[in-house]
Structure 1
Amino acid sequence: MRLLIISDVHGNKEALDAVMAVPHDEVICLGDLVDYGPSPGECIDVLTEQKITTIMGNHDSAVAFRMDCGCGYAYKHLSQSTREYTWNVLNDEQIEFLRKLPQSFERTQKGKKLYFTHGSPLSFHDYIKPDTPEATIQEYIKEVEADFIFIGHSHLPFIRKIGDVTLVNPGSVGQPRDGDTRASCAIFNTDTLEAEIVRVEYDMEDVFGKIRANMPNTDELILILKRGY
């Protein structure tokens, strides 16, 4: 079975549609459906209509509970400035969907334990990046018994072995920040227990048009998408 792992959609419906076209049998979303992008409601609707298992991200929590997002300094002002827009375009059902999201999800495949969360097993605010020291990661994951841990949050895709645990970050669907402007996701083959990062082109001009028509900080939001960070 091909498990499509997506994360950090951030209101980018065009990018979400593109990754959903990658051949798969099931989808799991690691959170952050909202903020930064022009179509958060439409993205939520895709996940609810298709009954996709979804984890709560820090931005989902910030929108649902009107809390601080705990974002990195470089992008926090954009999260704050676009949140008012996000609140205005989401309906009560969509907000309620965000409120009810779990912070982790587990399953077993071929005798291997899979653990899914947004930031780290300790908190959706924790950043695990490709260059995070191994000792730091060991502290983040020491309470979890798993063979594979799937995380998002950093917007940086990677597959990394830490001791007996394989960490998979699919990168960001809607706001890649590794210098590659294509939408990012991962495929996990539950038969071979192998993961791969997949990049997908999407119509960025449509997203730019929606940002210009509706959102604050227009130039900065578009520049991030154009340069991929």
Structure 2
Amino acid sequence: MTIAVFSDIHGNVYSLEKALKIMESLNPDKYLFLGDMAGYYYYQNESIELLNSLHNLISIKGNHDSYFLNSFNKADALKKLDLQYGKSYSMLSESINEKSMKFFNDLLPYEKNSLFEAYHGSPNNYLEEYIYPDTNFNFELNVPFIFLGHTHYPMCKKINDTFIINPGSIGQPRDFNHGSFTIVDLKDKKIENIRYEYNIGKLEKEVLALQDKEYLYNVLQRTK
């Protein structure tokens, strides 16, 4: 059984569109989204519509999704988030539709089964803990695969009989500006991280036109 694992879309529908075309061409049996639809960029409704068209999708809640849900329709809380992460929080609060709200409310805290566990952060802190290759892995390794998001950096590390995999980020990769996801064959234990280019110029122009946080533009400029 193959699974397409992806994370941290952050409203970047341009990157998501390209990623899903590649994923669908590979015909995975399942899709696993590790969280963070909210935050940073501006097309959550459109991105959620694309995810809702997928069959066999598991979706996990990320820290930014939690921030959004806890601040929805609360002007002071949204203002604080906008100041820290950019204008997308208030924009989403004003524009969110019924299907998108249901998507956020239905996000799972984690997924556990006999083949894999999936978290946005880590088994110890589902939302907030960052796990990098040099992190001390102080959690139980009881399944063949553990999937983690949150860092925006792809990772594949094997400890004993468990692969710890981060697919990187669809919407805001932080190593360089090519989108990132991972295809995993759960039976044969074949793992491939896929990087791809997309039309990043549209998003760059929108960040500048909105006079949004400088970081949101600069991170899109990172190259190898």
Compute the TM-score of the two structures, normalised by the length of structure 2: 0.84
Equivalent AA in structure 2 for residue 202 of structure 1: Y
Aligned counterparts, 1:104-183, within 5 A:
104-108=110-114, 113-123=115-125, 124-133=127-136, 137-138=137-138, 141-142=139-140, 145-178=142-175, 180-183=176-179
Compute the TM-score of the two structures, normalised by the length of structure 1: 0.83
What are the ranges of 5 or more consecutive residues in structure 1 without an aligned counterpart?
68-74
Tell me how far 1:21 sits from its aligned partner: 1.8
C-alpha offsets along residues 140-173 of structure 1, whole Å, 9 cap, x if unaligned?
x22x632210000011101011233210000001
SS of residue in 2 equivalent to 1:21: helix
CA RMSD of aligned residues (A): 2.3
C-alpha offsets along residues 85-144 of structure 1, whole Å, 9 cap, x if unaligned?
222222243123212211111334xxxx211111001221111012213xxx12xx22x6
Residue 100 (structure 1) aligns with: 106
Identity %: 29
CA distance in 2 between counterparts of 1:101 and 1:53 reads: 9
User: 1-10 or 42-51, which moves further after superposition?
Assistant: 42-51
Structure 1 residues 33, 228: CA separation in 2 closer, same or farther (over 3 Å shift)? farther
Residue 70 (structure 1) aligns with: none
Tell me how far 1:83 sits from its aligned partner: 1.6
Residue 53 (structure 2) aligns with: 49
CA distance in 1 between counterparts of 2:53 and 2:2 reads: 20
SS of residue in 1 equivalent to 2:46: helix
Divergent runs of 4+, >3 A: 75-78
CA distance in 2 between counterparts of 1:42 and 1:205 reads: 18
Tell me how far 1:18 sits from its aligned partner: 1.3
Equivalent AA in structure 2 for residue 127 of structure 1: Y
Equivalent AA in structure 2 for residue 126 of structure 1: E
CA distance in 2 between counterparts of 1:129 and 1:11 reads: 24
Tell me how far 1:24 sits from its aligned partner: 3.2
Structure 1 residues 92, 212: CA separation in 2 closer, same or farther (over 3 Å shift)? farther
